[in-house]
């Protein structure tokens, strides 16, 4: 497993990040612990979660994924410093008026709740889950800055920020001498390129932000399990139907052919390699629902596309 620096920091993370949105949803606690253990054994030291995971599931109050990770850390006996734990704040965690968002009040309460559930006294990377238009970014950044100074958070990042909001935050940090974002977590994959590439990629490159893309496999579409005319039983099937188009089917065929030509790699491994071959990308977030999917994802470690191969996929998914 290769390790990369998280943006302009001294923090080194594995080239794949283990996402945990499926914990307490499509993977129960026992399976989640197996996934965590196998990922760590495979060299993954970077784990991404959020306080709101998986509150959308009936009977799930939120915080379940964090709690599962916390119990695994305790049971595994792995020294805390060998793990890089990233979590997020913003999502609605209760019914009260201050149970969500990026106000100082909510951030200060949410970080304590996350620390308790994770069973740790610090978070390596604390991220704003999305921008929040009702709270001045200066207020949110000031709270994050305080958490870094208190030692409860090591680095801070953003997720789901459009370019102008990201620049607003970077400038506010510089102007007020507050802690600066070290990373961005964008929605990015072969079939959703413009959202990141149009402006965000240049911002991250210019300001040295690490890039941790979520959904690099397009919600499972870029695994090849969805094929034209086939029916697939999956909790995410509805979300990927937008890719059931000629371009999507043609892309899968091209990636399958490319994988065979490179020595028998799967479609999902080619999709991850496409990102890992881009120097602006730090660590794509994988979200395996079982050990078989995890093994397939780990097979992309160290895999790179040639310039010609990457260009072929770029041209097949070009945007304007």
Q: 283-298: per-residue pLDDT in tens?
A: 999 999 999 999 999 9
C-alpha to C-alpha distance for 94 and 10, rounded to whole angstroms:
36
Residue 257 lies in a domain: no
| Domain CATH for 98 | 3.20.20.100
CA distance 140 to 144: 6
Residue 68 · residue 109 · CB < 8 Å? no
**34, part of any domain:** yes
Has residue 247 been placed in a domain?
Answer: no
What is the structure's pLDDT at 58? 87
Q: Which domain holds residue 151?
A: 3-222+275-303
Confidence (pLDDT) at 307: 97
Q: How far apart are CA 255 and CA 169, in angstroms?
A: 38
**Tokens representing residue 108 in the block:** 């200060």
Answer whether residue 232 shows pLDDT above 90.
no
53 is catalytic: yes
What tokens does 254 get? 């091209």
d(CA 145, CA 164): 21
Pairing, β 3-5 against β 12-14 = antiparallel
* Inside any domain, residue 9: yes
Q: From the candidates 40, 53, 131, 243, which is the catalytic residue?
A: 53
* pLDDT band, very low/low/confident/very high, at 237 (cuts 50, 70, 90): low
Query: Has residue 292 been placed in a domain?
Result: yes
Cα–Cα distance, 51 to 320 (Å, whole number):
36
pLDDT of res. 181: 98
Total domain count, the chain:
1
d(CA 106, CA 108): 6
Residue 131 lies in a domain: yes
Say what the pLDDT of residue 227 is: 86
Classify residue 130: in a domain, yes or no.
yes
Per-residue confidence (pLDDT) for residue 231, from 0 to 100? 64
Q: How many whole angstroms separate alpha carbon 287 and alpha carbon 101? A: 25
Strand partners, 87: 126
pLDDT of 60 reads 86
Q: Is residue 164 part of a domain?
A: yes
């Amino acid at each position: 497993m290769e390790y990369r620096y998280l943006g302009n920091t001294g923090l080194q993370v594995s080239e794949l990040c283990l996402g945990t949105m499926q914990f307490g949803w499509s993977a129960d606690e026992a399976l989640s612990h197996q996934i965590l253990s196998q990922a760590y054994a495979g060299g993954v030291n970077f784990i991404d979660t959020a306080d709101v995971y998986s509150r959308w599931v009936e009977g799930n109050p939120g915080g379940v994924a964090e709690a599962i990770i916390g119990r695994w850390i305790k049971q595994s006996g792995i020294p805390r410093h060998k793990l890089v734990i990233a979590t997020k704040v913003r999502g609605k965690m209760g019914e009260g008026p201050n149970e969500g968002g990026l106000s100082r009040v909510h951030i200060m309460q949410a970080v304590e709740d996350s620390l308790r559930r994770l069973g740790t006294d610090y978070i390596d990377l604390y991220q704003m889950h999305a921008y929040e238009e009702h709270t001045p970014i200066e207020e949110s950044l000031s709270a994050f800055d305080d958490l870094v100074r208190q030692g409860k958070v090591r680095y801070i990042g953003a997720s789901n920020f459009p370019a102008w909001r990201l620049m607003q935050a970077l400038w506010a940090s510089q102007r007020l001498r507050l802690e600066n974002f070290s990373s961005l977590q964008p929605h990015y994959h072969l079939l959703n390129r413009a959202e990141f590439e149009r402006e965000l990629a240049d911002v991250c490159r210019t300001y040295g932000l690490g890039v941790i893309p979520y959904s690099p496999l397009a919600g499972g579409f870029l695994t090849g399990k969805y094929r034209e005319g086939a029916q697939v039983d999956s909790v995410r099937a509805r979300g990927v139907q937008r890719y059931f188009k000629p371009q999507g089917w043609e892309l899968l065929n091209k990636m399958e052919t490319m994988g065979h030509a490179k020595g028998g790699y799967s479609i999902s491994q080619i999709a991850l390699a496409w990102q890992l071959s881009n120097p602006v990308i730090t660590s794509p977030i994988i979200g395996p629902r079982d050990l078989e999917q995890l093994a397939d994802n780990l097979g992309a470690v160290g895999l790179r596309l040639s310039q010609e191969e990457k260009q072929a996929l770029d041209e097949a998914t070009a945007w304007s």
